């Protein structure tokens, strides 16, 4: 038994360890999160974050990637550990501690493959989430707050873009995440001053609009800026 000091006297209490993944993307100028429809109780038929229990022979990182692959067919994404949720009564089945992760993906680079996956997984606008199981709404809100904070001092927004993108597309991704409009001239000036963008020879043409220059992300320069503590305030 555990005494008042937290000592277990060699006995380990039966706490379950789980993982949940908040996967963000941008579709139709909206920030969206991937949810899956639960097939089993509790909350059967309710939408929830991809996730599951951690196996005895796997790390939490491995469990998160496995759960995402099994439930959504999406793999090969970079997951960042978000927070550990361990409040009491999170799960009606018993004491469950969850390690949450979040990631950003470009909508064109991922697809929900397989008929069974398409029936049980879907993208939802963060602003219009359906009723969700457990405390998953709180986890999504926590991930969104982290994302909005990190976009001010990292290049996390680039993960939502294709390899080649226009400055308009880059600004749009920031505006969608921050849920606010940014001054076009000021945004472009700051981005170009940081020298983290490489101009490409190619242009992107959309309708009758003037072709827009394509850019790509120069990761080595970003790493050097981060090491110097340089931030990008918008």
Residues 70-94 pLDDT 10s: 888 888 788 899 999 999 999 999 9
Residues 100-136 pLDDT 10s: 999 888 888 777 765 456 568 899 999 999 999 999 9
Higher pLDDT pick, 218 / 95: 95
Regarding whether 109 and 190 lie in a shared domain, the answer is no
Task: Look up the CATH number of the domain holding residue 189.
Answer: 1.10.10.10
Domain finish residue from 103, 134, 165: 134
Residue linked to tokens 């993944």: 21
Regarding whether 82 and 192 lie in a shared domain, the answer is no
Distances (CA, A) of 220 to 18, 135, 225: 35, 38, 9
Distance CA(168)–CA(187), nearest Å, equals 10
Domain finish residue from 100, 134, 168: 134
Distance CA(181)–CA(66), nearest Å, equals 37
Largest distance between two CA atoms of the chain: 74
Residues 123-182 pLDDT 10s: 999 999 999 999 999 999 999 999 998 887 777 777 888 889 999 999 999 999 999 999
Binned at pLDDT 50, 70 and 90, residue 229 comes out as: low
Question: Could you list the residue range(s) of the whole structural domain that residue 199 is in?
Answer: 156-227
Q: How many domains does the chain have?
A: 2
Q: Is 2 part of any domain?
A: no
Domain finish residue from 134, 165, 180: 134
Residues 50-71 pLDDT 10s: 999 999 999 999 999 999 998 8
Mean pLDDT, the chain, as a whole number? 85
Q: Could you list the beta-strand ranges (E) of the chain.
A: 16-27, 30-37, 47-48, 51-53, 80-85, 96-104, 121-125, 197-204, 212-217
């Amino acid at each position: 038994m555990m005494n008042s000091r937290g000592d277990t006297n060699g006995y380990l209490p039966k706490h379950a360890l789980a993982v949940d993944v908040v996967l963000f993307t941008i579709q139709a100028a909206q920030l969206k999160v991937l949810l899956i429809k639960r097939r089993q109780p509790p909350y059967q038929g309710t939408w929830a974050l991809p996730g599951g229990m951690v196996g005895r022979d796997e790390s939490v990182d491995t469990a998160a990637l496995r759960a995402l692959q099994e439930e959504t067919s999406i793999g090969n994404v970079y997951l960042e550990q978000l927070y550990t949720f361990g409040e009491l009564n999170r799960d009606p089945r018993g004491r469950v501690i969850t390690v949450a992760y979040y990631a950003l993906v470009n909508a064109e680079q991922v697809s929900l493959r397989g008929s069974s996956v398409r029936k049980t997984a879907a993208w939802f606008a963060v602003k219009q989430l359906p009723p969700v199981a457990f405390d998953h709404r709180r986890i999504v809100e926590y991930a969104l707050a982290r994302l909005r904070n990190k976009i001010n001092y990292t290049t996390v927004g680039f993960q939502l873009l294709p390899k080649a993108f226009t400055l308009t597309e880059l600004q749009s991704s920031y505006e969608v995440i921050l849920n606010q409009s940014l001054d076009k001239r000021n945004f472009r000036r700051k981005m170009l001053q940081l020298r983290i963008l490489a101009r490409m020879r190619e242009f992107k043409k959309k309708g009758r609009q003037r072709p827009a220059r394509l850019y790509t992300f120069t990761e080595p320069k970003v790493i050097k800026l981060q090491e110097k503590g340089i931030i990008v305030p918008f």
